Structure 1
């Protein structure tokens, strides 16, 4: 396929830089530049934004973001083998791409960026959920970023947008939907990637709300939901015993039946329960 930006096709880049995907790094490369441009467009108009990308690999999505007009892209890549390929993209887009060879879990990339900031990434499978959780739980809200446009395994994407009563509903849904508007905007089959993963993938777009949907202390809500969903088959009066005191009374005051299970309870009652726990 002819490249859209005057740079070599990605298969050629991968061959030239010997960038075979490493399973240990959770790598699955997306080589279709039409697809990477489509993912970049899901993040909206980027011309006035700095963009954080984690795990760019050979730079397919990086090229999409720059071609779609991102003001600046900060690409954080753990794999030193990708530095040469990313340097070629940086040379093609002078002053608009900064590459950092580091583990995204160990640095503060937002220190390199100027607001407004959006995060767009085909996240490595092995760190995707951990990074999302960190971005959703900063010390101060609203966060430094305006939106997250992230590719996950479809099963993880379904957990982010799940509703009460479904098998995929859990802590990740509560954490995401408490502070953002989250929706799945694209789905991709395994054959879109090299090497093809064993699962389908999906892109989730999360827009930060100015303030959480319902008042609650983030730490307390996180603790309560962790306890509730850790033993999701148990009734809440049993799974939340660790809170101490009159758990049944707390649940009833929050409008929750003590015999209910975590997967039946919506976001608002969980926030009410977190407020009561904090007040106690």
Structure 2
């Protein structure tokens, strides 16, 4: 991979191609290779593994993944970056595959030949949460996910009952994976700097994910409960059975959503499935 280290600095490559971040696409470039290399390390030993990366932009994280010995499939929506990615491809000795398209519509199973592979990405801010939900609840189950989010989103993913950030994202994430913040990155690490700091979340899917019907019921329960989070469950869950549903699950209907543990939400979802 010596040819990779011979490439010009990313900032220089961007200037040479006259490229700037597109705020409409939620782009903030991560050009510091010390940071991207750390993210690659946090994703685990990658030598010889296939890795999917979403939104590579100019390829800062892509370089680090290739340096780590990964075979990288990138999914990029912005065609302006194709020349930079092609430059990376030319020196990657066949280890980089470029897919131009929308990651929300991508078939990861086909890209990974139906194998669970790690997903590593500095996610665009405007679609990060939607992509995470897709990977947590969809048909394709990644081997692991090492993902950069806005810090406030990262905190929502790992939040616990009683935390201000606790909500449906935490419940869905923790029902399907072990989630933890493994790194923080200040706004100044990005070009252009966003208005908020960022953090990397590592998610390792549970060996046993809730069955699809239970997961769908959990999404309905959390949407209703946190949609009116200041109300008692008997009110917020009224359309799904309210107090009767809570009592069937052994939960006090006067409680509020932010006090319930994951197991209690799963109990509510299970009882919802039993209702006619």
Q: Please report the TM-score for the alignment, with normalisation by the length of structure 1.
A: 0.93
Partner of 1:122: 122
The question of whether the paired residues in 1 share the 8 Å contact of 2:228 and 2:236 is answered with yes
Partner of 1:64: 64
Partner of 2:199: 202
What are the ranges of 5 or more consecutive residues in structure 2 without an aligned counterpart?
none
Tell me the CA shift for residue 94 of structure 1.
1.9
Q: What is the distance in 2 between the residues matched to 1:158 and 1:95?
A: 37
Q: What is the distance in 2 between the residues matched to 1:44 and 1:103?
A: 26
- For 1:158-197, list aligned pairs within 5 A: 158-197=155-194
Computed over aligned residues only, the root mean square deviation of the Cα atoms, in angstroms, reads 1.7
Tell me the CA shift for residue 105 of structure 1.
1.4
The question of whether the paired residues in 2 share the 8 Å contact of 1:215 and 1:271 is answered with no
The question of whether the paired residues in 1 share the 8 Å contact of 2:175 and 2:209 is answered with yes
Distance 1:251 1:116, change over 3 A: closer
SS class of match (1:149): strand
The question of whether the paired residues in 1 share the 8 Å contact of 2:89 and 2:97 is answered with yes
The question of whether the paired residues in 1 share the 8 Å contact of 2:4 and 2:88 is answered with no
Q: Is 1:37 matched up with 2:37?
A: yes
Q: What is the distance in 1 between the residues matched to 2:210 and 2:174?
A: 8
The question of whether the paired residues in 2 share the 8 Å contact of 1:216 and 1:271 is answered with no
Partner of 1:257: 252
Q: Is 1:98 matched up with 2:94?
A: no
Q: What is the distance in 1 between the residues matched to 2:222 and 2:235?
A: 13
- Among residues 235, 239, 250, which one is paired with 2:236 in the alignment? 239
Q: What is the distance in 2 between the residues matched to 1:88 and 1:44?
A: 26
Tell me the CA shift for residue 200 of structure 1.
0.4
Distance 1:150 1:242, change over 3 A: same
- For 1:44-59, list aligned pairs within 5 A: 44-59=44-59
Q: What is the distance in 1 between the residues matched to 2:151 and 2:261?
A: 22
Q: Please report the TM-score for the alignment, with normalisation by the length of structure 2.
A: 0.95
What are the ranges of 5 or more consecutive residues in structure 1 without an aligned counterpart?
none
Q: What is the distance in 2 between the residues matched to 1:250 and 1:105?
A: 34
Q: What do the CA deviations read for 1:53-90 (whole angstroms, capped 9, x no partner)?
A: 111010000000010111x1111111111000000101
Tell me the CA shift for residue 214 of structure 1.
9.7
Q: What do the CA deviations read for 1:117-136 (whole angstroms, capped 9, x no partner)?
A: 10000000000000001101
Tell me the CA shift for residue 49 of structure 1.
2.0
Q: What do the CA deviations read for 1:35-65 (whole angstroms, capped 9, x no partner)?
A: 1011111110112421111110100000000
Partner of 1:277: 272
Alignment size in residue pairs:
272
The question of whether the paired residues in 2 share the 8 Å contact of 1:181 and 1:206 is answered with yes
Q: What is the distance in 2 between the residues matched to 1:62 and 1:235?
A: 47
SS class of match (1:207): strand
Tell me the CA shift for residue 255 of structure 1.
2.3
Q: What do the CA deviations read for 1:224-261 (whole angstroms, capped 9, x no partner)?
A: 111000000110000001114xx313212312111101
